[in-house]
Amino acid sequence: MKYLKLLLIILGILAITVIIMNYLPSKLRTTYQKNQQEHFFSHKEENQAPFTLADLAGFPQPIVNYIQKMGYLGKARMNGMQLFFKEADFYLDQEKPKMTIDYYVTESSLNPKRIAYIDSQLYFLKFNGYDVFLNQQSRMQGELLNQINLFKQEGEDLRKGGLLTYLSEVFLMPSAIFNEAISFKELDSERVLATISIDGYDLQGVFEFNQEGEMVRFTTDQRPHVEADGKVHQRTWVAECLDYQVNNQGVKIPTRFVASWMIDGKKFDYFDGKISEIQYY
């Protein structure tokens, strides 16, 4: 009986500790917010010029159509954007259970920079993630109970992934098409080959546009699939922009984003989220 009481006391202390840690400030969120200010919001150009047809001379016709039909002509170019997803479906890999996450992204259209923060729970414990591509370096981190480091991955494979993720999202902040690191080649009336060339890398993917001019899909075979345990596979990666709607600024934007890996001939959607808001800065 004495040992049972001692065990109950220990379990009670552990439960209280977990509850307290679940409500502590996240170290990764603090890092994300600090990097937002240092690398994005403090590095912007004031009084950006508007999109004009003259600026688009020489671009593939599907891109010209996109800027026109989505309503960007005459609107001021953006320095970058913040993306917000609430309660998106997310899988760390095929063997892991589905997680529901809030996902926050900040990117620059002036040069390839991107950071993202995940706010979620893993088996009733607070789980946070941080995905960063800054200064041509990339890393991915996981955090439990707001304070405990679960994993940290770095290296060339993640660097390639960071560049291709950035490339896949340029049409969500289309002033990024003027970035000197990015070039385009028209394949046909609905497809454009995009190349991002930086720091010795030349990485490519194909953008697909539908008849309404919407950019609906980005596909690449050059993004390494780095799993949570560090294993790396070379697979086709697909990013889809769906369910376009006109926002309060008169711009037509996607409201759903799906990211997938092609594994053994089957499409594995590891991220499926509704875009709750896009803010330009």
Structure tokens at 143: 């955090």
* Separation of CA 127 from chain center: 18
User: Which of 62-71, 227-236, 242-251 is predicted with the least confidence, judged by mean pLDDT?
Assistant: 227-236
pLDDT > 70 in the chain, percent? 91
Phi/psi for 157 (5° steps) reads -65, -45
> 3-state class of 167 per DSSP?
helix
Separation of alpha carbons 37 and 34, rounded Å: 5
Q: Where are the domains of the chain?
A: 2-280
Question: Which pTM was predicted?
Answer: 0.89
Amino acid letter for position 86: K
Residue 281: pLDDT above 80? yes
Query: In whole angstroms, what is the distance from residue 235 CA to residue 73 CA?
Result: 37
Query: Residue 39 phi/psi, 5° resolution?
Result: -110, -10
Length of the chain: 281
Using 50, 70 and 90 to split pLDDT, how confident is the model at 101? very high
Nearest partner of 105 among 280, 254, 228, 225, judged by Cα: 280
**Dist CA 261 CA 278 (whole Å):** 25
In angstroms, the Cα distances linking 269 to 82, 89, 127, 171, 211 are 23, 9, 21, 21, 25
Region for residue 40 given its phi and psi (left: phi exceeds 0; alpha: psi -120 to 50; beta: otherwise): alpha
Report pLDDT digits (tens) over 15-66. 454 455 555 678 999 999 999 999 999 888 878 899 999 999 999 999 999 9
Q: Could you identify the residue written with the tokens 């494979």?
A: 157
- Assign 237 to helix, strand or coil: strand
Q: What confidence tier does 168 reach under pLDDT thresholds 50, 70, 90?
A: very high
State the Cα–Cα distance between residues 269 and 99, nearest whole angstrom: 13
CA 23 – CA 59 distance, rounded (Å): 50
For residue 179, give the DSSP letter: -
